[in-house]
Amino acid sequence: MQKNIMAEEQQGHKIARIYVDRDKCIGAASCVAIAPGVFELDDENKAVVKDEQGADDETILLAAQSCPTQAIVLFDSAGNQIFP
């Protein structure tokens, strides 16, 4: 499953949009630990995207995969959901 995502990425499916589902986010902050240039916690302890270009695609994907509640959703430039 994860290998397929990586393979798709290598075929040019770039991450174009990052969405955080605030209802799912539990503030575990693993996304922030992995991609501090992209995610930060707001004052409600929910992750927000501060810079979609703040890390490379691989790092952003790792951050999304690290989320215990799969609150991070990734889309390519055609609007297709590429994770989870």
Nearer Cβ to ligand SF4, position 13 or 65?
A: 65
Q: Which helix (H) or strand (E) holds 73?
A: strand 72-76
Q: Which amino acid is at 47?
A: A
49 binds ligand SF4 (CB under 6 A): no
Of 7, 10, 52, 69, the one binding ligand SF4 by CB under 6 A: 69
Measured between alpha carbons, how far apart are the two ends of the chain, in Å? 10
Q: Within 10 Å of residue 20's Cβ, how many Cβ atoms? A: 19
Task: Rank residues 32 and 76 by Cβ distance to ligand SF4 and give the closer one.
Answer: 32
Binding site for ligand SF4 (CB under 6 A): 20, 25-31, 39, 47, 66-69, 71-72
